[in-house]
């Protein structure tokens, strides 16, 4: 709200300077008072709900006054053509922000559909994750699959979505590329729904994880071993862009919760500097493309060295006795 108010004040200054005659008095925005009232709440460590609601009410009044001043300046001769493309886009976003914030204030709500949380990136949505470090994340949400060490980016969305609904489409895409269904799919717990389990059973696909319902009292060693192997296989996709899962209690994986995936650690997937939605999606797709090319290059190099040493290297023969 404070950022939207400051942007409208800059737009008022630009429109007033572009007027042919300065007979009209410049509108008063009370920017110093509004800034002080914003800082009174923003500097508090834990402001109460009553204080936050009161501050939002004041910022809504300032923002409403500024938007009305902009309409009056346009009525007396100012033109929107004097604004840059970025400022004009921000003006449109500010109007939508005012509508959303006013709706939440009047109805005493804390959420609204397609809520805008950034003026420069209005396509970004808050995604509730519930993690200990950050309960809310901002950015694109990805749905990816891994086969033979190569990552396939199946879906990019700025809105929150349920990943379990993408399993059927991902398996069908695999069949379209290879000509057959996979023998097994290794998925996270969110994918193990009744619908997905039933569909995989009809297609003859084994889905990883324990069956639904109450766990049996006596679990066979073979089931435990298979579950452990499935989790190890699933580390392939977890290690590409997320935090790897527990890999069998290995001493090397004692700090598995703090490790970043290959895409974030090596290819800077968590440091995207692009602002637009299409450029961000392109940067994400290029990141996975480069990661797959690196995997292919490693395989080519290893194949070359294996052929070279097998053909030209002479191994010593030791005899004992």
Instruction: Give whole-number Cα distances, 123 to 126, 266, 274, 280, in Å.
Output: 10, 27, 13, 11
Tens of pLDDT, residue by residue over 110-145, are 888 889 999 989 998 888 776 666 778 888 888 888
CA angle (41, 46, 47) in 5-degree steps: 40
**8 Å CB contact between 238 and 245:** yes
CATH 3.30.420-classified regions of the chain: 126-304
pLDDT band for position 258 (50/70/90)? very low
Q: What is the pLDDT of residue 21?
A: 67
Confidence at residue 310, expressed as pLDDT on a 0 to 100 scale:
76
DSSP state of 27: P
Strand partners, 145: 152
Determine phi and psi for 38, rounding to 5 degrees.
-70, -45
Q: What is the mean pLDDT of residues 241-267?
A: 55
Over the stretch 148-189, which tens digit does the pLDDT of each residue have?
Answer: 888 888 889 888 888 888 899 999 998 998 888 998 898 888
CA-based end-to-end distance of the chain: 86
Q: Show the DSSP H helices in 76-107 as ranges.
A: 85-106
**Helical spans, DSSP H, in the chain:** 2-17, 31-42, 49-75, 85-106, 167-178, 194-202, 221-241, 262-265, 277-312
Provide CATH code, domain 126-304.
Answer: 3.30.420
Contact 11, 28 (CB under 8 A): no
Q: How far apart are CA 197 and CA 206, in angstroms?
A: 9
- β-strand 206-207 against 184-185: which pairing, if any? parallel
CA dihedral 115, 116, 117, 120 (to 10 degrees): 160
Estimate the crossing angle of helix 194-202 against helix 167-178, to 10 degrees: 20
How many whole angstroms separate alpha carbon 297 and alpha carbon 262?
A: 16
Token pair for 292? 């797959």
Buried b (16+ CB within 10 A) or exposed e, 301-316: eeeeeeeeeeeeeeee
211 vs 29: which has the higher pLDDT: 29
Distance CA 58, CA 8 (A): 15
In which region does residue 191 sit, left (phi positive, over 0), alpha (psi from -120 to 50) or beta (all else)? alpha
Of the listed ranges 161-170, 226-235, 242-251, 299-308, the one predicted with least confidence: 242-251
Type and span of the H or E element at 136: strand 136-138
């Amino acid at each position: 709200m404070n950022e939207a108010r400051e942007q409208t004040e800059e737009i008022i200054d630009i429109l007033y300077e572009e007027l042919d005659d300065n007979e009209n008095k410049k509108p008063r925005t009370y920017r110093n008072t509004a800034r002080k009232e914003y800082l009174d709440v923003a500097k508090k460590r834990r402001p109460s709900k009553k204080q936050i609601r009161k501050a939002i009410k004041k910022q809504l009044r300032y923002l409403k006054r500024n938007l009305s001043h902009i309409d009056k300046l346009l009525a007396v001769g100012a033109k929107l053509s004097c604004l840059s493309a970025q400022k004009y886009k921000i003006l449109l976003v500010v109007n939508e922000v005012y509508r959303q914030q006013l709706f939440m204030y009047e109805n005493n709500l804390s959420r609204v559909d397609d809520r805008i949380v950034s003026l420069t990136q209005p396509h970004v949505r808050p995604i509730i994750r519930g993690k200990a470090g950050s309960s809310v994340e901002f950015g694109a949400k990805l749905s990816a699959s891994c086969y033979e060490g190569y990552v396939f980016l199946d879906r990019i969305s700025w809105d929150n979505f349920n990943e379990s609904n993408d399993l059927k489409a991902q398996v069908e895409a695999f069949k379209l590329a290879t000509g057959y269904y996979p023998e097994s799919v290794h998925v996270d717990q969110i994918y193990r729904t009744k619908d997905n389990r039933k569909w995989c059973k009809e297609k003859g696909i084994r889905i990883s994880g324990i069956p639904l319902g109450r766990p049996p009292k006596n679990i066979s060693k073979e089931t435990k071993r298979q579950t452990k192997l499935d989790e190890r296989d699933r580390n392939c996709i977890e290690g590409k862009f997320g935090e790897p899962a527990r890999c069998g209690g290995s001493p090397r994986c004692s700090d598995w919760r703090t490790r970043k995936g290959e895409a974030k650690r090596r290819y800077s997937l968590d440091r995207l500097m692009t602002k637009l939605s299409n450029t961000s999606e392109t940067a994400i797709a290029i990141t996975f493309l480069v990661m797959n090319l690196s995997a292919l290059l490693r395989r080519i190099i290893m194949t070359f060295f294996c052929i070279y040493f097998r053909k030209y290297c002479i191994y010593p023969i030791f005899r004992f006795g």
